[in-house]
Amino acid sequence: MNPTRHRYPKSRRLSGKLAFTAVREGGRKESRGPLTMRAMPNELAHCRFGIAVGRHCGTAVRRNRIKRLLREAFRLLQHDFPVGYDLVITVRPHEPLMLAEYQKLLSGGMVRLHGAWNS
């Protein structure tokens, strides 16, 4: 028996300016609370995740906390997401939320984005 492993390896990370630009230009958009999510299908058997948090969101401590919470939310939910998407999250200024709230925002947004690509 092999239980589902909740890891976040480098293969699940979206990195590089070209990858972010491709998703921003060609992806579908969904806004949930302080998050704007863009998703675009990829040719992989898993989702890749990228985060963009600008200086307008606060000090480095606040920005890094938001990024840590979003990465953890993705790590825990990645097996529930439909496979084969590149996902970029852009964060608007806000007070950091609880992990469960970020999970709720991510899962709701991903359901809508998946539906938009399959309609």
Give the model confidence (pLDDT) of 36-93 as tens digits. Answer: 999 998 888 888 889 999 999 999 999 999 999 999 999 898 888 888 888 999 999 9
> What pLDDT does residue 1 have?
44
Complete domains list, the chain, with CATH: 13-112 (3.30.230.10)
Residue 116: pLDDT over 70: yes
Average pLDDT over residues 12-33: 88
> Read out DSSP for the chain?
--PPP----GGGB--SHHHHHHHHHHSEEEEETTEEEEEEE-SSSS-EEEEEE-GGG--HHHHHHHHHHHHHHHHHHTTTSPSSEEEEEEE-S-----HHHHHHHHHHHHHHHHHHHH-
Average pLDDT, the chain: 87
What is the pTM for the complete model shown? 0.88
